[in-house]
Amino acid sequence: MPSIDSYLDLGSHYELGIVQALLDDLDRPEKDLDIIHVAGTNGKGSTVSYLAHSFLQQKINLMTFTSPQLRQYLDRFSFNGEAVGQEDFDRAEAIVLEAADRIAEKNSRHPTVFEMELVISFILAKRLGARLFIMETGLGGRLDATNAVERPLATVFTSISLDHKAELGDSITAVAREKAGIIKAGVPVFSTVQVSEAENVLRERAADLQAPFRILSAADIELLEDSTESQSFSYYGHNYCIHLPGRHQRLNAALAVMVLRSLPEPYSLSLEIIEEGLNSTDWPGSFELIARKPDIILDGAHNPDAAAALSENLRQYRGTGKYFGILHIFKDKDVVGVLRAVRGIFDKIWLPEMKKPRSLPAEELQTLCQEYLRDTECVVVPSVEDAAAAAKAEAGAADTIVVFGSLSHLETARKALIE
């Protein structure tokens, strides 16, 4: 039987009919799972990680489904904090691929890779004995495959901003409407701090569906200590320590606390358990400091809001040395918005050729860099490995190397820079 990789050329389809047919064919494997559904533009992965690490402190059997992965493919499918084993995956994959071929015979198209991966994760959860399931949307919400779930335990919204304009719309209101499509009648809704346009959409949708709505207030979060290695904050009178830097991570962590303190039994956790969970949380590729002298940071800043958060962190923790960057980004992203967000940060940026179908060619990226980053030297190189070698050769002990942009090159850069 072919592997799921055989279907990569099927692309994406933003409609729910086929994935619902696939779930029906397999007798709705998700129906006995308690599901937390997470949507948003930035912060989904780290918020899922805060939630998951907290539940794991309570020894609750847990499956998470996230994408894309940073290190290895099976990281998308995590059971009790670890990527599932290849043998378990292969068995679930075989079940779903067989069902997907049946669906293709009866319908207008074959289920996509993402649709099949979602269903594989449900099969894995049931077979491995997970009752609690946390998943993040792939794109948007209303027509995202994950929205085939009929009644989750809770819906959670991280920060909403512009991204995927072709599919979701070119205004915050339009994007928020698409993401708000995951809200279900009577199901509690939790949101981080949002811009007013997004907050209004979420509030109205929740009210229309009589879904209890809670939104985070930044005024309730007090920063206590802050460094590149950790930060502590107080939220409603209790102190928490996290190891992901930046204001946005305090918001993500506080959002997780709000959710965790509001769920019904057996999922309502004590403050002490939540504190331990947040303190143990990591999320690769989120301002991840992987080496010292020079500092080497990996950050999947692939849209303007994420790039603005990266810039804020770099300015806040800036030392006396130079900043060197390695940047690759997909052509369907707001590349100009990303460049504007990091203006004035970098002394030099290497632009590797990636030769992926979605990649913006390095020479085109260089042209944009020359226009929007006029004080930064931008150099095209053949590969990520070449960029890493050049950065290591030029950076001194007091300098910083930052690998940023689309997630697809971060792991390659990690290996090249460390090894």
Q: Which domains does the chain have, with CATH numbers?
A: 4-279 (3.40.1190.10), 288-418 (3.90.190.20)
What is the per-residue pLDDT across 264-295, written as a single tens digit (0 to 9) for each?
999 999 999 999 999 999 888 888 989 999 99
pLDDT of residue 317: 81
Q: What tokens does 56 get?
A: 């794991």
pLDDT recorded at residue 380: 96
The whole-number pLDDT of residue 164 equals: 54
User: How far apart (Å, rounded) are the C-alpha atoms in residues 123 and 83?
Assistant: 15
pLDDT at 93 over 70: yes
Reported pTM: 0.91
The per-residue pLDDT for 170 is 76
Mean pLDDT value of segment 21-31: 96
Q: How much is the pLDDT for 166?
A: 56
**Cβ pair 381, 275 in contact under 8 A:** no
pLDDT band at 15 (very low <50, low <70, confident <90, very high): confident
**CB–CB of 206/198 below 8 Å?**
no
Residue type, 362: A
Give me the pLDDT at residue 1, please.
Answer: 60
- The mean pLDDT of the chain is 92
Q: What is the pLDDT of residues 224-239, one digit of tens each?
A: 998 878 999 999 999 9
CA distance 305 to 194: 12
The per-residue pLDDT for range 296-349, each reduced to its tens digit, is: 999 988 899 899 999 999 998 877 899 999 999 998 889 999 999 999 999 999
Residues 139-177: pLDDT tens digits? Answer: 888 999 999 999 999 999 999 987 655 566 578 999 999
Q: For residue 100, give the H/E element and its range.
A: helix 86-106
Where does residue 267 fall: left (phi above 0), alpha (psi -120 to 50 degrees), or beta otherwise?
alpha
Q: Which residue has the higher pLDDT, 245 or 342?
A: 342
How many residues make up the chain in this entry? 419
Write out the H or E segment, with its range, that includes residue 251.
helix 247-260
Cα angle: 144, vertex 123, 95; to 5 degrees: 100
